[in-house]
Amino acid sequence: MQGLLPPLNDHNLPWMDTIHPIVVHFVIAMAVISVLFDVAGVVLRKPNLFEVSFWNLLVATVAIFVAIIFGQVEAGLAQPYGGASEILNLHSTLGWSLAGVLAVLSGWRYVVRGRDPRQLPLPFLAAGGVLLVLVTIQVALGNQLIWTYGLHTVPVVEATREGLV
Amino acid sequence: MAPESLLATTPIEQLAPYLGSNHLPYGVPIHPNLVHFTIGLFVIAITFDVAAALYPLERRVFRFLALPVTRAGLHDVGWYNLLACAVVSFFTVAAGFFEMLLADPLPGVQSALGLGSATTMVWHGVGGVLLLLVIVLMTVWRGYQRFVWRREMGRQVQWLYLLIGLALFPIFGLHGTLGAELAAEFGVHIRADQLLAAGADLREALP
């Protein structure tokens, strides 16, 4: 795999900086806002917010696969140490699971919207709540990898190369 | 409240008793988590307004995909996402300033863009406020187009609005790069980087 990539820099990456955290903007923001606009649509009786939710959910679903592709490459180069290995495993597993969850929700929503775009069944709203919980856990795990363990940051990569970690 | 003996010291020394090894009074920084929303919502808002503006060209593609679409629906995404972006971005900037007050960038580092930590923080801090202003102005402009000037029109936005929106993408990208460098190169609020700089052994400090 590494033969396919450019040489690694001081972030232990073949490109300037981590790309995964940029792509996840479009998973986190779109998934969360989709649920929030669904709730707002129900509470405020504004069905055109359901359309906004639908498109945001679709963007999140497409984006998560791109996030996983970069996430897998960057995880493979992350050189996790201590507790970071276990967290990275959990983050990867939950990431793939969320891709499945988002794909199922998108499919379900496509059918719901096809029947009546101005009605949202309450079970879908509940599923949105589950999505919100899963995304929150996934974000918390990712936060640990960067803000606690500093994976792919210059000082940690340097220390790892010197065998200090 | 800080003990009185601390009041004669520098601001960062006054706050020191409340801060962890990441120089924050809590576990992980808040600003980078809010940034997901500012950038994601802005980029998708502009993208969907572009898609709505070019709707006549895409109609057949959507029909081919059996994906029912209305132009008004695409514009709704452009408007509501931008509105949400404007709201959340005040919190993004507020959290950013709080966490920048507590920042302790590693000394002797030059970023990939060739800047030192102070220059990077000044650009990212001042630039962040200016970008918040731009987001708010774009939202007001978008609102006038939606509710006043182009109320009766199929294409709800002016081409100039879309052009400026797209031109802001690389500016957001550069701005985000400065922020990413503050973390991944200057080690700001990263526990492992700060511990390493303090001479700790990560095998013991972060098991």
A residues 138..157 contacting B (CB < 8 A): 139, 143-144, 146-150, 152-156
Please, which residues have CB within 8 angstroms of residue A19's CB and are 6 or more apart in sequence? A70, A74
The candidate with the shortest Cα–Cα distance to A94, out of A35, A137, A145, is A137
B26 touches chain A (CB under 8 A): no
Please tell me the predicted confidence (pLDDT) of residue B13.
Answer: 79
Q: Which residue of A has its CA nearest to B113?
A: A16
Any A CB within 8 A of B71 CB? no
* Helices and strands counted in chain A (H then E): 6, 0
ipTM of the complex as predicted: 0.94
Structure tokens at B97: 């300033």
Query: Residue B11 has what pLDDT?
Result: 74
Task: Say yes or no to pLDDT of A103 above 80.
Answer: yes
Tell me the CB-side half-sphere exposure of residue B58, using CA atoms within 13 A: 17
Confidence label for A165 from pLDDT (cuts 50, 70 and 90):
confident
Low-confidence ranges of chain B (pLDDT < 70): 1-8
C-alpha to C-alpha distance for B156 and B141, rounded to whole angstroms: 11
Any CB–CB contact under 8 A between B177 and chain A? yes
Residue A147 has its nearest CB partner, among B28, B72, B180, at B28
- pLDDT the model gives residue B4: 62
B43 in reach of chain A (CB within 8 A): yes
Phi-psi label, residue B2: left if phi above 0, alpha if psi -120 to 50, beta otherwise: beta
pLDDT tens digits, one per residue of B48-72: 999 999 999 999 999 999 999 999 9
Predicted pLDDT of residue B7? 65
Residues 116-145 of B with CB under 8 A from A: none
Query: Helices B117-144 & B71-101, crossing angle to 10 degrees?
Result: 150
Predicted pLDDT at B5: 65
Q: What does the pLDDT look like over A46-73, one tens digit per residue? A: 999 999 999 999 999 999 999 999 999 9
pLDDT, one tens digit per residue, over A30-47 is 999 999 999 999 999 999
Cβ–Cβ under 8 Å, residues A49 and A41: yes
Best B24, B71, B77 member to test A by mutation, with max A CBs in 10 Å, is B77
**Residue A60: both structure tokens together:** 């999140």
How far is residue B20 CA from its own chain's centroid?
A: 24
Q: Is the dihedral of CA A19, A21, A24, A25 positive or negative?
A: negative
Average pLDDT taken over every residue of chain A: 95
A153/B193 Cβ within 8 A: yes
On chain A, the residues whose CB falls within 8 A of the CB of B109 are 154
Question: Rounded to whole angstroms, what are the CA distances from A126 to A38, A100, B162, B179?
Answer: 10, 17, 36, 36
Q: Which residue of B has its CA nearest to A54?
A: B77
Instruction: Provide the pLDDT for residue A62.
Output: 98
Of B32, B44, B106, nearest to A59 by CB-CB distance is B44
